[in-house]
Amino acid sequence: MPWVKGVEKSSMKTAYIDCFSGISGDMFLGALIDAGLPIEELEKALGTLPIGHYSLEAKKEIKNGITGTRFIVHQEHGAHHVHRGLREITEIIERGALSDRVKEKGLRIFKSISLEEGKIHGRPPEEIHFHEIGAIDSIIDIVGTAFGIEYMGIEGISSSRVPLGSGFTMSGHGRIPLPAPAAVALLKGVPVYDSGLECELVTPTGAALIREFAASFGDMPAMTIESIGYGAGMRDLPDRPNLLRIMIGKGDTEETLETVVVMDANLDDTNPEWLGFMMDRLFEAGALDVVFLPVQMKKNRPGVQIQVIGNPGQKDKLLDIIFAESTTLGIRYSYSQREVLKRTKTEIDSPWGRIGVKKVTARNGAPILYPEFEVCRRIAKERKIPVREVYYWVLGRNNAFTKGNGD
């Protein structure tokens, strides 16, 4: 983005995760430590969790000529086989001397893992007891990553697409396919691709972490890199270094890259009166946009195409509403990236008093005022004037606002 003289550009601390060899919890923490997270601060924070005796180690390892940090949790004999459920893990995290945000992130990740494991095993999440999420190292990986991100002041994270391996591995439930069923379930909404390797590249913990913290997936966004970290994995891979790379720096807040889910369905037998109600429900549920388009369907029937845009985590909720409030039997969905401009609400003086407007920061850094239609509508009704008079007055303020004479 070009620099514009006279326009002050704000920035935020952001990170890009390059998952060229997959991701696991220990690789994520190793990358954070390699990028500057003090392990002493990590030990101090995690030491407030009542999870028994263990020790942490961060050691340098070389993978294909690249030095990274291997993060290891050393446990007492037998500690790895402690089976904990969601209730026990919640109590452990709640008792820790951690920020509310770190606790919230940690609990949400464990709940998502328990929910997906419960679906796989046909049991309620609260009845899931297994060492894969109850072990000390999993608690440390999840809570430690949430702490590390907060400690380093990282406000936004984006990620590359995630490579998956294939084959089989042994688990507490027997021989299972790779990617592990829990990892696949947790990667819903995340762009993935086949790596061509017959091994596990993404663990359930790694999948849960990347889905929780990454706001978008794809190419690296524009940023000024300040630090780089490599988290080393346990094994050596035949065709690439087994490392997770994180790049941390300053990113412009005037534009951001987001991953969204786009859902659409064609209807030719739905009562038109229902559509308005469905739109209201979708927006109340958090949809970013809802559009109805006229289409000509099979048998030459006039119909309506519904298109809904939402955040990936909202997909299931929005799908439920579309199915419940329409007659469709199938809904298409895909994941897409969108670039959005920074926007905030502000107030300016007007002939009708202080009024609310939308302030948008253009790609060149210049501020632009946009009218809020409901505000214009209210003023037009109160003053008995055309709504376009209020609308165009706000747009006319942009010259003065850009020159610094506006509010």
Q: Per-residue pLDDT tens for 60-112?
A: 999 999 999 999 999 876 555 566 788 889 999 999 999 999 999 999 999 99
- What percentage of the chain carries pLDDT values higher than 90? 58
Its domain, for residue 226, covers: 11-253
When pLDDT is averaged across residues 169-185 and rounded to a whole number, the result is 87
**What is the distance between the alpha carbons of residues 163 and 191, in angstroms, rounded to a whole number?**
9
Residues 280 and 223 in one domain: no
Residue 123 above 80 pLDDT? no
Min mean pLDDT across 63-72, 158-167, 360-369 is at 360-369
Confidence band for 3, pLDDT divided at 50, 70 and 90: very low
Short-list 200, 156, 158, 161, CA closest to 182: 200
Residue 201 lies in a domain: yes
**What is the distance between the alpha carbons of residues 279 and 272, in angstroms, rounded to a whole number?**
11
Residue 7 above 70 pLDDT? no
Instruction: State the CATH number of the domain containing residue 317.
Output: 3.30.70.1380
Confidence band for 266, pLDDT divided at 50, 70 and 90: very high
pLDDT of residue 139: 93
| Residue 44 CB partners (closer than 8 Å, separation 6+) | none
Residues 283 and 141 in one domain: no
Residue 134 above 70 pLDDT? no
The SS3 call for residue 126 is helix
**What is the distance between the alpha carbons of residues 367 and 38, in angstroms, rounded to a whole number?**
39
- For 289, the token pair is 């946009």
Residues 119 and 237 in one domain: yes
Residue 354 above 70 pLDDT? yes
Min mean pLDDT across 14-28, 355-369, 384-398 is at 355-369
Residue 148 above 80 pLDDT? yes
Contact 328, 318 (CB under 8 A): no
Residue 371 lies in a domain: yes
Residues 307 and 351 in one domain: no
What is the per-residue pLDDT across 193-237, written as a single tens digit (0 to 9) for each?
999 999 999 999 999 999 999 988 888 888 899 999 999 999 999
- What percentage of the chain carries pLDDT values higher than 70? 89
Residue 252 above 70 pLDDT? no
- Among 225, 253, 281, give the residue marking a domain's end: 253
pLDDT of residue 171: 77
Residues 328 and 350 in one domain: no
Residues 189 and 124 in one domain: yes
Instruction: Name the strand (E) or helix (H) holding 346.
Output: strand 343-350
- Among 228, 253, 278, give the residue marking a domain's end: 253
Residue 5 above 60 pLDDT? no
When pLDDT is averaged across residues 243-260 and rounded to a whole number, the result is 79
Q: How many domains, the chain?
A: 3
pLDDT of residue 2: 25
- Among 198, 233, 253, give the residue marking a domain's end: 253
pLDDT of residue 278: 95
pLDDT of residue 399: 65
Task: Return the beta strands (E) in 281-379 as ranges.
Answer: 289-296, 302-310, 332-341, 343-350, 353-361, 367-371
pLDDT of residue 251: 77
Helix axes 204-213, 25-34, angle to 10 degrees: 60
**What is the distance between the alpha carbons of residues 74 and 51, in angstroms, rounded to a whole number?**
13
**What is the distance between the alpha carbons of residues 14 and 20, in angstroms, rounded to a whole number?**
19
Min mean pLDDT across 155-169, 333-347, 383-397 is at 333-347
Q: What is the mean pLDDT of the chain?
A: 87
Q: What is the largest CA-CA distance in the chain?
A: 80
Residues 77 and 120 in one domain: yes
pLDDT of residue 356: 86
* Residue 101 backbone dihedrals phi, psi, to 5 degrees: -65, -40
pLDDT of residue 83: 66
Residue 253 above 50 pLDDT? no
pLDDT of residue 10: 46
Short-list 384, 382, 356, 359, CA closest to 370: 359
**What is the distance between the alpha carbons of residues 100 and 188, in angstroms, rounded to a whole number?**
27
Contact 358, 370 (CB under 8 A): yes
Residue 298 above 80 pLDDT? yes
